[in-house]
Homo-oligomer: A and B are copies of this chain.
């Protein structure tokens, strides 16, 4: 039997910005600067943060992940959503149509987005070679077990396969806390 072990990365709340919104929040011609690289090639945590202001609460410093994307997307946990007072849907990254809106504030201005706030569906990035080796297809729903005192099997873990990805499972802070998981722990794909 093959053990399909996957490293787990815990995603805290974060935001991806469009180029237009970077300029609106940080000033004309502004470009994000890299603080540290992320597990996915070419992706990075920026030095810059924005304030996120909901009807009930706010977070003063939400980390921006670069590079810029076509559309701005704020990813929060369900716990964060209650604190902000917004009701984001559970979505795969990039699927933001009809999702929640919110106000963003940067040093040079404010932007109110009508949609773009989501709770990210748990997922695994597979390099094409990992997926082939394990017979896993893009968009497949997987079950992943994490052991321990708070052992959990996560269902509906979305497989995302690309030559540009590195093997990594992404869950949010609620999921990590519920399962007693820290960054660098591993899960096992059980089907």
Contacts of A122 in B (CB 8 A): 150
Kindly state whether residue A178 has any CB partner on chain B within 8 Å: yes
Specify the main secondary structure of chain A where it touches its partner.
mixed
Interchain CB contact under 8 A, A78 and B177 = yes
| Interface size class, chain A | 20 to 34
Copies in the complex: 2
Check if B155 sits within 8 Å of A153, measured CB to CB. yes
Q: Is A154 an interface residue (CB 8 A)?
A: yes
Nearest-CB distance from A150 to chain B (Å)?
A: 6
CB interface residues, A 136-191, toward B, < 8 Å:
147, 149-156, 172-175, 177-180
Q: How far is the CB of A80 from chain B (nearest CB, A)?
A: 9
Q: Give min CB distance, A104 to chain B, whole Å.
A: 23
- The minimal Cβ–Cβ distance linking A96 to chain B, given in whole angstroms, is 16
Q: Cβ of A53: which chain B residues have Cβ within 8 Å of it?
A: none
Contacts of A178 in B (CB 8 A): 78, 152, 172, 174-175, 177-179
Q: List 18 A-B contacts (CB under 8 A).
A: A77-B177, A78-B177, A79-B173, A90-B150, A90-B180, A121-B149, A149-B156, A150-B156, A151-B156, A152-B154, A152-B155, A153-B153, A153-B155, A172-B178, A174-B174, A174-B177, A175-B178, A178-B178
Interface residues of A (CB under 8 A from B): 77-79, 90, 121-122, 147, 149-156, 172-175, 177-180
